[in-house]
Chains A and B, each alone.
Chain A
Amino acid sequence: MHLPHSTLKQEFVKKWIMGLQRCKFSNKKMSIFERKKAIKLSADTAMASARKGLTCWSRALISNPDRPVPTTTRRASSACKKIVKRSRRIRRTAKCGAARKGQITRSIAQCLVRKRTQILKSLIPGGEFMNEVCLIEETLDYITSLRVQVDVMRSLASASARASEPHN
Chain B
Amino acid sequence: MSSRRPSSRQSSGGVSRISDDQIIALVSKLRHLLPEIRDNRSDKVSASKVLQETCNYIRSLHKEVEDLSDRLSQLLATIDAESAEAAIIRSLLM
Partner of A159 from the list B4, B8, B69, B92 (CB cut-off 8 Å) is B92
Q: Does A71 contact B (CB under 8 A)?
A: no
Q: Mark B55-94, 1 if CB is under 8 A from A, else 0.
A: 1011101101110111111111011110001001110111
Alpha-carbon distance A142/B10, docked complex (angstroms): 29
Give the number of chain A interface residues (Cβ < 8 Å). 54
Q: Does B40 contact A (CB under 8 A)?
A: no
Q: Does B18 contact A (CB under 8 A)?
A: yes
Residues in A neighbouring B90, C-beta threshold 8 A:
17
Q: Does A10 contact B (CB under 8 A)?
A: yes
A35:B85 contact, CB within 8 angstroms: no
B58:A114 contact, CB within 8 angstroms: no
Residues in A neighbouring B71, C-beta threshold 8 A:
157
Residues in B neighbouring A149, C-beta threshold 8 A:
65
Residues in B neighbouring A160, C-beta threshold 8 A:
72, 75-76, 81, 85, 89
Q: Mark A16-33, 1 if CB is under 8 A from B, else 0.
A: 010011011000001011
Partner of A21 from the list B18, B62, B69, B80 (CB cut-off 8 Å) is B80
Interface size bracket, B side: 35 or more
Tell me the minimal C-beta distance from B48 to chain A in angstroms.
4
Dominant SS at the B interface?
helix
B88:A163 contact, CB within 8 angstroms: yes
Residues in B neighbouring A152, C-beta threshold 8 A:
93
Residues in A neighbouring B89, C-beta threshold 8 A:
156, 159-160, 163
A43:B65 contact, CB within 8 angstroms: yes
Q: Does A140 contact B (CB under 8 A)?
A: yes
**Also in contact, A157 and B61, with CB within 8 A (given A40-B66, A109-B46, A110-B7):** no
Known A44-B65, A144-B33; further 13 A-B contacts with Cβ < 8 A: A21-B80, A23-B79, A30-B79, A32-B74, A36-B69, A38-B79, A110-B7, A116-B51, A123-B58, A133-B22, A146-B61, A154-B68, A160-B89
Provide a sorted-by-A list of 14 A–B residue pairs whose CB atoms are within 8 angstroms.
Answer: A13-B93, A35-B79, A36-B73, A39-B76, A109-B47, A114-B17, A117-B17, A119-B51, A124-B58, A142-B58, A156-B89, A160-B85, A161-B75, A163-B81
